[in-house]
Amino acid sequence: MTEIFTGSFTQQEPIPEAGIEAALSVLRSGRLHRYNLTEGELGEAALLEQEFAAQMGAKYCLAVTSGGYALSTALRAAGVKPGEPVLTNAFTLAPVPGAIASIGAQPLFVEVNEALTIDLDDLAAKVERAGVLLLSHMRGHLCDMDQLMRICTDAGVIVIEDCAHTMGATWNGVPSGRHGVVGCYSCQTYKHVNSGEGGLLVTDDEEIAARAVILSGSYMLYDRHLAAPSAEVFERVKYDTPNISGRMDNLRAAILRPQLRVLDRQVSRWNDRYRVLEAGLRGTPGLRVIDRPEAEHFVGSSFQVLLPDWTADNVRAVLSRCAARGVELKWFGAPEPQGFTSRYDSWRYVASEPMPQTDRVLAGILDMRVPLTFSVEDCALVARIIRAEVSAVFQGCPAKT
Ligand SMILES: *Cc1c(COP(=O)(O)O)cnc(C)c1O
């Protein structure tokens, strides 16, 4: 009997009841704007920032409209100027080079390796050419963060972390987003907490924090924040920092607070599913699972494997055979951007140098989401289907590994 998978790769869990209750209460109050507070009221957005700062062990936190907005705000607040190069990994998603382009700066791509992380040798070779690295922990894979920070610190390069896929992850016990000067997170539906859209930014740098608050559109109401620096810091920056509206509202903040309280539990549920997929696929002929380093405590909200040096036709055959059995895989080797899988050479506003190593890795990456609506048994079934179809294609063409 041929097994078929019938789950949806895009169906998230419902918002927890506590979030629904809190959202209704904001709706009933009518005070959705974060600065619309009654006497003594703290507001959901300010409380969210206070709680997330504490959770990440950061001094300051700002909640904004999206993860991409958090990235562009971090770059601006860190003083990146139009025309400047900004280092970033070539394997990432469109909002990352987009955030760099949005402030008129120029992405300067760094190669990715077979661990799906930034190539530290290529970074070391290029680090002198820029003042900032926007590091994207793409699909939740963390590079050796200690080594990366050494390279950047020695060169005087500021690191801004894109933690869209690593909220809740750590490297050697340090939360993702706390190695660089700023950590940016997304609260969009497909990430680790879900408010539809939304973003968070954390930092210990008081001037960056103050500028970010003003950039987000604080109308000089910064004293209504609970995780922002003191008034003197704002005095120093407030007249030369533009308002580029991108505030979080109380409704979305209310939905997010209860989700952040159970983040660790969600992370272990994701990892239970990830480990089942990994165990089910390890040892499949022609397929390589990605080894995860000991120091990395990751969040298995998505799963990748490599079909190293396969021909495009054979990869396509695997994709269509899996799709016929209900398993939706994304491929980063397709020449045209599809859905969320666009690649560096489809961002034609960037004059990229050749990226031969990245091209080779991207040509073999299969990627899938692991929503928490999948059971552990669902993951075992998905792994059986991928294993069978990869084996069938691989055995059908032994000449071409
Ligand atoms: C989703 C995502 C972002 C940006 O998040 P939005 O909230 O959609 O703006 C940034 N980087 C990566 C890698 C992402 O997947």
Q: Which of 12, 88, 96 to mutate to test the pocket of ligand 1 (most atoms within 8 A of CB)?
A: 96
Domain harbouring 63, CATH code: 3.40.640.10
Q: What is the pLDDT along the chain (401 residues), one digit of tens a residue?
A: 799 999 999 999 999 999 999 999 999 999 999 999 999 999 999 999 999 999 999 999 999 999 999 999 999 999 999 999 999 999 999 999 999 999 999 999 999 999 999 999 999 999 999 999 999 999 999 999 999 999 999 999 999 999 999 999 999 999 999 999 999 999 999 999 999 999 999 999 999 999 999 999 998 899 999 999 999 999 999 999 999 999 999 999 999 999 999 999 999 999 999 999 999 999 999 999 999 999 999 999 999 999 999 999 999 999 999 999 999 999 998 877 777 677 898 899 998 889 999 999 999 999 999 999 999 999 999 999 999 999 999 988 654 44
- Residue ranges around ligand 1 (CB below 6 Å): 66-68, 92-93, 95-96, 136, 138, 162, 164-165, 186, 188, 199
In this structure, are strands 158-162 and 132-136 parallel, antiparallel, or unpaired?
parallel
Do 165 and 288 share a domain, yes or no? no
Q: Is 191 a catalytic residue?
A: yes
User: Cβ–Cβ contacts within 10 Å for residue 9, how many?
Assistant: 18
From 232, 261, 290, give the residue that closes a domain: 261
Do 278 and 379 share a domain, yes or no? yes
In angstroms, what is the span from residue 171 Cα to ligand 1's centroid?
20
Do 242 and 308 share a domain, yes or no? no
Tell me whether residue 143 is in a domain: yes
Do 272 and 292 share a domain, yes or no? yes
Tell me whether residue 4 is in a domain: no
In angstroms, what is the span from residue 371 Cα to ligand 1's centroid?
16
Do 191 and 290 share a domain, yes or no? no
Tell me which residue range forms the domain holding 169.
17-261
In angstroms, what is the span from residue 27 Cα to ligand 1's centroid?
27
59, 126, 191, 330: the catalytic one is 191
Do 204 and 297 share a domain, yes or no? no
Tokens of 196: 């539809």
Do 189 and 275 share a domain, yes or no? no
CA of 329: how far to CAs of 272, 378, 385, in Å? 20, 15, 11
From 222, 245, 261, give the residue that closes a domain: 261
Render pLDDT for 115-154 as a digit per residue (tens, 0 to 9).
Answer: 999 999 999 999 999 999 999 999 999 999 999 999 999 9
Do 233 and 312 share a domain, yes or no? no
Do 43 and 97 share a domain, yes or no? yes
Tell me whether residue 144 is in a domain: yes
CA of 9: how far to CAs of 92, 316, 341, in Å? 20, 19, 15
Do 138 and 279 share a domain, yes or no? no
Q: How many domains does the chain have?
A: 2
